[in-house]
Amino acid sequence: MFITLLIVTFAIAFVVSSLVVLMFKKPVDSILGRIISDKISSAWSKYLKFAIYVTGISSGVRIRSLEKYITKPMYEHAEIVRLTTERWVLEIYRTIIGSLQGIAWMLLVFFIFALIAYVITRAFELKHGAKNESTATSE
């Protein structure tokens, strides 16, 4: 039963991560295309998708939390927690929320750094554009 729970939580975390990758594909590609504006932006986009999968699955499938179903607690008269229908529902819910929470934090960090990079890129473009205008007017 534990192996089934492990496989189900992995599959759910994978599906949740896949949905997030699909939802954020265009925004991520356009942001990276704007900031990097080179062929390497597609490589960064692939890496970010991979990172979403890794973060989603590792956040959704919590091995330490699942150990309670196979490991007997250390105190006296303790029993291994049984996998009931209610526990299954709870673990599935935890998997979905854990995956989304981990991915949300990862994307927040990405978008913060992307915003900083965009501001720097935009400032450089404006400064460089102003320099070109002054050179063109003086000729």
Given a cut of 80, whether residue 22 has pLDDT beyond it is yes
pLDDT at residue 137, as a whole number: 58
Per-residue pLDDT tens over the stretch 44-78? 999 999 999 999 999 999 887 777 777 777 777 77
- Pick from 75-79, 108-112, 135-139: least confident: 135-139
| Residue 135 falls inside a structural domain | no
| Residue 137 falls inside a structural domain | no
| Residue 115 falls inside a structural domain | no
Separation between Cα atoms, residue 117 and residue 70, nearest integer Å: 47
pLDDT at residue 139, as a whole number: 55
| Residue 132 falls inside a structural domain | no
> What type of residue is 113?
F
pLDDT at residue 134, as a whole number: 59
pLDDT at residue 99, as a whole number: 97
Q: Say which residues have a Cβ less than 8 Å from residue 95's Cβ, sequence separation at least 6.
A: 9, 12, 13, 16, 60, 61
pLDDT at residue 63, as a whole number: 81
Per-residue pLDDT tens over the stretch 37-46? 778 888 999 9
| Residue 117 falls inside a structural domain | no
Given a cut of 70, whether residue 24 has pLDDT beyond it is yes
Number of domain units in the chain = 1
Averaged pLDDT for residues 110-127: 89
| Residue 129 falls inside a structural domain | no
More confidently predicted of 64 and 105:
105
Separation between Cα atoms, residue 80 and residue 66, nearest integer Å: 11
Both structure tokens of 132: 């070109």
| Residue 32 falls inside a structural domain | yes
| Residue 134 falls inside a structural domain | no
> What type of residue is 89?
V
What is the domain extent for residue 33? 2-109
